[in-house]
Amino acid sequence: MSKEKTAQLRKFVKPFETADVKASVRQLVNTIPPFIIAWTLAYLALDVSIWLTIALCIVAAGFVVRTFIIFHDCTHGSFFKNKKANAVVGTITGIMTLFAYEKWKREHSIHHASSGNLDKRGVGDIWVMTIEEYVEASKWERFKYRMYRNPLVMFGLGPLFLVLISSRFNRKDARKKERNNTYLINISLVVIYSLLIWAIGWQAFLIVQGITMFTAGALGIWLFYIQHTFEDSYFEDESEWDYVKAAVEGSSYYQLPKVLQWVTGNIGFHHVHHLSPRVPNYNLEKAHESTPPLQQATTINLKTSLKSLRYKVYDAKNKTFVTFGEIKHLLNENKITAQ
């Protein structure tokens, strides 16, 4: 992509970067109160049927995902024009979704600045190994990677790791503001959860909150995974890496049914988001529809997205993901060479 086309693409998206206070407030109103209502109904349904409770927890989980998108926009400073308003709403929605606002804000900004860069992996992204790295890795390292990429681990244990461990502790290089924000959110969670357990009992709380947050966490990880893991996703070495190419060619357009698109806050237009993180979620579709070049991004849907579960290792030479089975012969060849 030439510099002229890059500049033109950014120019096309620029008008959609302005936050609309009314739209933001409207989204808060149609997201947070419905979540509270669904959660409460799920608790009350325990006296009727556990299956009804589970169904309502799934509905509540959908609103948690939508709440996370608001949190996500706040970390980019795109939900409100006012920086303080983003920080306040971001911290509140961080408590609701169990994520530390300042911590996630920094790590996610690193993800945006390095997505698709093979020389800058490791912060705020999905663990990806190239064929060469995987073949040359130790048995233990390959075992860890295979477990990490296993769907049962990624979408089963992944949500628990994110909310119970990763989001609860600061990185060693975290600054005071980031540390204090994490402490504030952790303390708030302890107080709120203690009050809820006191009010409804630990069993009911564990069932309703556990099912709701686990479901939301699994859905969130799936969305993040599918947005960057597709057959011809963009990855390049530092010397060849380009921000716009990484955004448009390394982020998918996840074409979802309108209901799911609404629940996920338009995050399926991930290529638009990576091109310009300042575009609020409610403007992503408009930016996509108004910018023809963006409509050329890799498009996947519910059916085709399931194929991404097969993609495990990145072939840097042919610029594509491959399965473990496709490179098994390389492991055997490497073993014979070593002997």
Residue 149 in contact with residue 158, Cβ under 8 Å?
no
Backbone angles phi, psi at 267, to 5 degrees: -70, -10
Q: Is 222 helix (H, G, I), strand (E, B) or coil?
A: helix
Of 53-67, 130-144, 277-291, the range with the highest mean pLDDT is 53-67
- Name which of 337, 50, 115 is nearest 246 in CA terms: 115
Q: Is 299 helix (H, G, I), strand (E, B) or coil?
A: strand
State both tokens at 45: 């349904």
Residue 176 neighbours by CB under 8 Å, 6+ apart:
none
Mean residue pLDDT across the chain: 92
Say what the pLDDT of residue 3 is: 57
Query: Where does the pLDDT of residue 207 fall: very low under 50, low under 70, confident under 90, or very high at 90 and above?
Result: very high
Say what the pLDDT of residue 42 is: 98
Give the pLDDT confidence of 249-299 residue by residue, as tens digits.
Answer: 889 899 999 999 999 999 999 999 998 999 999 999 999 999 888 888 889
Query: Where does the pLDDT of residue 5 fall: very low under 50, low under 70, confident under 90, or very high at 90 and above?
Result: low
State both tokens at 220: 């969130």
Give me the DSSP letters along 118-174.
TTS-SSSS---EEHHHHHHS-HHHHHHHHHHTSHHIIIIIHHHHIIIIITTS--TT-
d(CA 43, CA 22): 32
Query: Where does the pLDDT of residue 198 fall: very low under 50, low under 70, confident under 90, or very high at 90 and above?
Result: very high
For tokens 């399931």, what's the residue?
Answer: 306
Instruction: Tally the domains of the chain.
Output: 1
State both tokens at 316: 């840097």
Of 28-42, 122-136, 272-286, the range with the highest mean pLDDT is 28-42
- Name which of 204, 287, 302, 291 is nearest 255 in CA terms: 302
Amino acid at 86: N
Query: Where does the pLDDT of residue 8 fall: very low under 50, low under 70, confident under 90, or very high at 90 and above?
Result: confident
Query: Where does the pLDDT of residue 199 fall: very low under 50, low under 70, confident under 90, or very high at 90 and above?
Result: very high
Say what the pLDDT of residue 52 is: 98
- Name which of 215, 232, 217, 235 is nearest 296 in CA terms: 232
Residue 56 in contact with residue 323, Cβ under 8 Å?
no
Exposed, middle or buried by CB within 10 Å (0-12, 13-18, 19+), for 190?
Answer: exposed
pLDDT at 119 over 60: yes
- Name which of 98, 57, 11, 68 is nearest 287 in CA terms: 11
Residue ranges making up the domain that contains 239? 3-338
Out of 1-10, 164-173, 226-235, 326-335, pick the least confident.
1-10
Residue 45 in contact with residue 53, Cβ under 8 Å?
yes
d(CA 272, CA 294): 7
Mean pLDDT across 111-117? 90
Which uninterrupted H or E stretch holds 304? helix 302-305
Give me the DSSP letters along 27-76.
HHHTTHHHHHHHHHHHHHGGGT-HHHHHHHHHHHHHHHHHHHHHHHHHHT
Q: Tell me what percent of the residues of the chain surpass a pLDDT of 90.
A: 77
Q: Is 321 helix (H, G, I), strand (E, B) or coil?
A: strand
Say what the pLDDT of residue 4 is: 63
Judge if pTM exceeds 0.85: yes
Give the pLDDT confidence of 210-229 residue by residue, as tens digits.
Answer: 999 999 999 999 999 999 88
pLDDT at 79 over 70: yes
pLDDT at 157 over 70: yes
Say what the pLDDT of residue 185 is: 97
Say what the pLDDT of residue 312 is: 93
Out of 26-35, 90-99, 321-330, pick the least confident.
321-330
